[in-house]
Amino acid sequence: MSPSASLPTERDALTSRVLPQMILSKGDETSLTGPPIPVATDLNASGRARLRFGVQGNAVVTGGAGTLGFAASRALLEHGLSGLMIFDVDPAHGKSKIQALQDEFPTAKICFTKVDITDDIAVSAAIDDTTKTLGSVDILLCFAGVVNCTHAIDMTAAEWRRTLDINLTGSFLCAQAAAKQMIKQGTGGSIVFTASISGHRVNFPQPQLSYNVSKSALLMLKSSLAAEWARYGIRVNSISPGYMDTILNEGDGLAEARAIWASRNPMGRMGTPSELTGAVVLLSSSAGSYITGTDIVVDGGQVVF
């Protein structure tokens, strides 16, 4: 039979297919999205404040050896995180970061594993190992990513695919593996993607098409997963950093671009890594229990223009 002869059968099948449908949570006390348990009345004001932004359980942080991921990891530990697993591709750099955190937080269990987040088998295995090591996976922060500044007319297919594979597909694979574990635990959880102001508007003066597309896609990934996974008690959100003062934005070659970025920012400067941690703690803590499908822009007002 020729390929064309099978087309009518395939087309007929389209009219008889049944679409899968999302199931939303009931939101009552029997569900995983019910209202929070009232705060104990015997706590004083400072106790209630600490509890409000308390971070419980264990977290996986991809790209945790990088500047932003490391700052976020430390912030979660400061707010009560019990265990931390850093996923990164640089063991030497990662292990030194772990030692620094372990010295600062001796009672927490802090570990590192080398993972290629674009490899679904490796990611699933790493989540399984994390569960065995820490006991559970309750929070996932996705900081692993790459930047590509190439004129669109000159971009190769390999460059395009690599950026989307790491920034978008890698984030999805980690979220999927973590969500499967959270569902198995039956305790819900929080997933936070790192999007960017580049997902909201075109950067200037540098061309970075593949990066911008990957980050805008992350915003829809966040919203779609928030809708699908709410019934499991899994909240899915994202943060969109502006230009942050990290090694990626250093060097004499970027001096002109840095000046342009600052001139178009109402606050007149780049952000520091610590200024991103407030949003991370909010979305990972009790204070964010009714926040899902949301993107928090932390950019000094860069996108208002």
Please report which confidence band the pLDDT of residue 258 belongs to, taking 50, 70 and 90 as the band edges. Answer: confident
pLDDT digits (tens, 9 = 90+) for 6-37: 566 777 777 788 889 999 999 998 999 999 88
- Residue 7's pLDDT is 60
Please report which confidence band the pLDDT of residue 2 belongs to, taking 50, 70 and 90 as the band edges. Answer: low
Please report which confidence band the pLDDT of residue 78 belongs to, taking 50, 70 and 90 as the band edges. Answer: very high
The answer on pLDDT for 297 being more than 70 is yes
Where in 89-169 does DSSP place strands (E)?
109-114, 139-142
pLDDT digits (tens, 9 = 90+) for 208-251: 999 999 999 999 999 999 999 999 999 999 999 999 987 666 67
The answer on pLDDT for 188 being more than 90 is yes
- Residue 250's pLDDT is 67
Please report which confidence band the pLDDT of residue 3 belongs to, taking 50, 70 and 90 as the band edges. Answer: low
In percent, the amount of the chain with pLDDT more than 90 equals: 78
Are 222 and 295 a contacting pair, CB within 8 Å? yes
- Scanning 111-250, the segments in alpha helix (DSSP H) are 120-134, 157-164, 170-185, 209-229
- Residue 95's pLDDT is 82
Fold of 47-298: Rossmann fold (3.40.50)
The domain locations on the chain are 47-298
pLDDT digits (tens, 9 = 90+) for 120-146: 999 999 999 999 999 999 999 999 999
Q: Phi and psi of 113, rounded to 5°? A: -145, 140
Active site amino acids: 196, 211, 215
pTM: 0.93
Q: Which residues contact 204 (CB under 8 A, 6 or more apart)?
A: 260, 264
Helical (H) or strand (E) element with 85:
strand 83-88
More confident: 220 or 51: 220
- Residue 8's pLDDT is 63
pLDDT digits (tens, 9 = 90+) for 145-154: 999 999 999 9
Please report which confidence band the pLDDT of residue 194 belongs to, taking 50, 70 and 90 as the band edges. Answer: very high
**What is the Cα 64 distance to its own chain's centre?**
11
The answer on pLDDT for 5 being more than 80 is no
Task: Tell me whether residue 216 is exposed, middle or buried, using C-beta atoms within 10 angstroms of its C-beta: 0 to 12, 13 to 18, 19 or more.
Answer: middle
